[in-house]
Structure 1
């Protein structure tokens, strides 16, 4: 069951027609703010992420679908479409991440939706936009990384796509950002927006600084450009643990690094005399700092870096992140129970209002169709009708 409504979006209803990551993340971010997010899934399998490792409740699905309710409807059937349109009449926002044209082919284009609900805000997430030479292509995270320039800025000698779903996640964030703006505008003007968000432009917008350097200064970025400029280093210590430092531009951090690593000679080395020199000789300085780091354990160097006020952090495994004292202090992780699947660990919304997250809903991701009866009954359907709709007939 959904807990009592709370949060800045309490009372806002989002109907979600999404799967995998981009759309589900956008819906989750809005649900974390208190919106009632109803995820409409196609029976009998629902969101493809449900069965990623067997069953229908994978960790991937859970992380992108907390705080939601699940209803099963077959949108290719007349009865399913009728029920969906009744649900849309109760909604503030409709969110989908189908390929361009799918909603129209289902007979659920914007004209029909607005006839049912003139105040409905719609947000469609696609790979490349609604038209253009790539509009009909399928798109996933690696595709977005590659075509936007992100991969070109990150690929090293091993030429591997970066592990986390960067483009999927940031596209979902841009979509939720756009929906919040449209909700605010509708409260002031009464007008409902039709929003389009695509992975390609989201990914390009996310790396605006390399494009600015290229277009304004004629500098063609390469994978080490950012770390050279920021003076960031990953160092391996005597206990084989990794440590990151980020000196940026203030001279005091360079001076502090010399003191912390007990290498005053680096300060008199002509190659590293100023920030430009340290950028131009990044590889050589990296060698020297790694030589120093190899002499002591990571804990020793962390203590020294703290003493000298140098920006740094241990490079942690996931378990180490969860055990980190600052993370524990912030209460970033929380355990939540589901009646059928036991306990799952959630990552809390990384935003506080008035110094608190007490207004954040904390509900485990739903089972497939878990709330069909609860939601459809409010639309006037009988138990028999609900059973037929939930089966996909």
Structure 2
């Protein structure tokens, strides 16, 4: 393999993250489980992604304009190895790696690891400190557990999809696999909690994260509202019902601006910004309940006022009066936004599997979102982008972690166990 010298340099220069010294083995494909692995890698963990030699992660082929850029960002900070877990030799290597690991992240259908003979009963016997994070559509138990699960269905079954869109219309999907990302984030949270618990108990445990439950968990008070008073929250378009004023309003140049003044003090500031300070104490609008009763009236009033100004001027006026406001940006506007740039939210991702002279080498790095949240002392970072070539780090990992020599690697490669 040709190594990229810039990547080797970057690895040494990258800040040490909070999870430096934690080794993660990532199994599974697409978004939810690998997103958990990405978050762990962002915080400094050594993430080793395991792919089948003949069936690499389909995410490698996702992207726009003929560019496979989804993978480059989503597989960042991961060393990629090709290992056939369907063979005895492949399973033996995986179990040897598991002995050295702190965390295994998998996103197969429940029961898959057990069928392969590498379930948690086996893993925990080999390594009692090992944490197994299992990410699936519905969780490891229950009547739906064996169903395949995708983000779209998780959002639907959880009630999240029902809340999106406008009343009386088909509930649309946000142009993201939101349920996958939520599932990955909750799995990440569970891994952190399990690592902390291990400091007290000395033992690992299973983290069971479901896309459907992650989608349910963010729904604020919908469950108690229904349980106690029978209220079924409905989609409300561009606003939240009875939270007023808080909506999008069109400027004179045809752009949408968010104005959120649904607290009493904020409403008084907005009234002053509109040149009508008397509305701030008007009994018809002075408190939360009154404004909720007159939500349509307020939206019409604010909309007429906002339409007099360009989006830039409207935001400037509202900022002057400390009213919560902001534009509805496209990604093109996001990337030039001074706030995101001041916070260094767009960082370079360089393919570690390619070097000058290689087919497909691009000297220009790919921009992606930076590490969130920011830690003051152990910030982590982007050490390298996802490797476009499967198995880029197979030799490196097996030699470094398990001590395999060149002859052993050659025999495994000839047998098809690794690639």
TM-score with structure 2 setting the length: 0.86
Q: Which residue of 1 aligns with 2:20?
A: 10
How far 1:355 sits from its partner (Å)?
6.6
From 373, 376, 392, the equivalent of 1:351 is 373
Alignment partner, residue 51 of structure 2: 41
Is residue 198 of structure 2 the alignment partner of residue 186 of structure 1?
A: yes
| Aligned 1:257-276 pairs, distance under 5 A | 257-263=270-276, 272-276=285-289
- Residue 97 (str. 1) matches residue 107 (str. 2): yes
Q: Residues 104, 273 of structure 1: CA spacing in aligned structure 2 closer, same or farther, 3 A cutoff?
A: same
Instruction: Please say which of residues 266-275 and 164-173 is displaced more in the overlay.
Output: 266-275
SS in 2 for 1:338: coil
CA distance in 1, matches of 2:225, 2:301: 29
Cα gap change, 1:86 to 1:336, in 2 (>3 Å): same
Q: Please, which runs of 5 or more residues in structure 1 have no aligned partner?
A: none
Is residue 262–residue 288 contact of structure 2 (8 Å, CA) maintained in 1?
no
**Structure 1 residue 30 corresponds to structure 2 residue 21:** no
Shift in Å, 1:391: 6.2
Alpha carbons of structure 1 residues 7 and 56: separation in structure 2 relative to 1, 3 Å: farther
Equivalent residue runs for 1:299-318 within 5 Å: 299-318=312-331
1:362 aligned partner: 383
Partner residue, 1:244: 258
TM-score under structure 1 normalisation?
0.92
Residue 132 of structure 1: how far off its partner (Å): 2.1
Q: Distance in 2 between matches of 1:286 and 1:181?
A: 44
Partner in structure 1 of residue 358 of structure 2: none
Q: Which range moves more in the overlay, 106-115 or 258-267? A: 258-267
Return the alpha-carbon distance in structure 2 between the equivalents of residues 14 and 114 of structure 1. Answer: 15
Equivalent residues of 1:71, 1:390 under 8 A apart: no
Which of 121, 127, 132 does residue 122 from structure 1 map onto? 132
User: 2:240 is paired with a residue of what secondary structure?
Assistant: helix
Q: 1:323 aligns with which of 319, 324, 336?
A: 336
Partner secondary structure for residue 375 of structure 2: coil
Q: What whole-Å deviation, never above 9, does each CA across 1:355-383 have from its counterpart, x for those lacking one?
A: 774x4243111231110110122324323
Report the secondary structure of 2:141's partner residue: coil
Q: Would the alpha carbon gap of residues 131 and 51 (structure 1) be closer, same or farther in structure 2, given more than 3 Å must change?
A: same
Aligned pairs for 1:30-109 (under 5 A) are 30-53=40-63, 58-109=68-119
Q: Aligned residue for 1:154? A: 164
Cα gap change, 1:185/1:288 in structure 2, threshold over 3 Å: closer, same or farther? Answer: same
Separation (CA, whole Å) in 2 of partners of 1:327 and 1:116: 45
Q: Which moved more, 1:373-382 or 1:334-343?
A: 334-343
Report the Cα offset of residue 99 of structure 1. 0.6
Higher mean C-alpha displacement, 304-313 vs 47-56: 47-56
Corresponding residue for residue 357 of structure 2: none
> Cα–Cα, structure 1 residues 46 and 17, in superposed 2: closer, same or farther, change >3 Å?
same
- Asked whether the equivalents of residues 84 and 90 of structure 2 are also in contact (C-alpha less than 8 Å), the reply is yes
Matches of 2:224 and 2:346, distance apart in 1: 37
Distance 2:34 2:217 in 1: 21
| Inter-partner Cα distance in structure 2 for 1:44 and 1:129 | 28
- Output the CA distance in 2 between the equivalents of 1:63 and 1:42: 21
CA-CA distance at 1:47 after TM superposition: 0.8
The root-mean-square deviation of aligned C-alpha atoms, in Å, is: 2.5
Q: Is the 8 A contact 2:80 2:394 kept in 1?
A: yes
Q: Distance in 1 between matches of 2:40 and 2:245?
A: 37
Q: Does 125-134 or 90-99 show the bigger shift?
A: 125-134
1:270 CA displacement: 6.8
The one of 181, 191, 198 equivalent to 1:169 is: 181
Alpha-carbon spacing, 1:68–1:115, altered in 2? closer, same or farther (3 Å): same
Task: Please identify, of 271-280 and 72-81, the stretch whose mean Cα deviation from structure 2 is larger.
Answer: 271-280
CA–CA distance in 2 between the matches of 1:227 and 1:32?
38
Q: Tell me, which stretches of 5 or more residues in structure 2 are unaligned?
A: 1-6, 355-360
Measured at CA, do residues 56 and 389 of structure 1 come closer, stay the same or move farther in structure 2, by a change above 3 Å? farther
Deviation track 1:143-191 (CA, whole Å, cap 9, x = no partner) reads 1111111111113235312222221111111101111111112122211
Q: Secondary structure at the match of 2:335?
A: helix
1:376–1:386 Cα contact (<8 Å) kept: no
Query: By how many angstroms is 1:392 displaced?
Result: 5.2
3-state DSSP class of the match of 1:213?
Answer: helix
Task: Give the conservation status (yes or no) of the 8 Å contact 2:124–2:130.
Answer: yes
Match of 2:413 among 358, 366, 387: 387
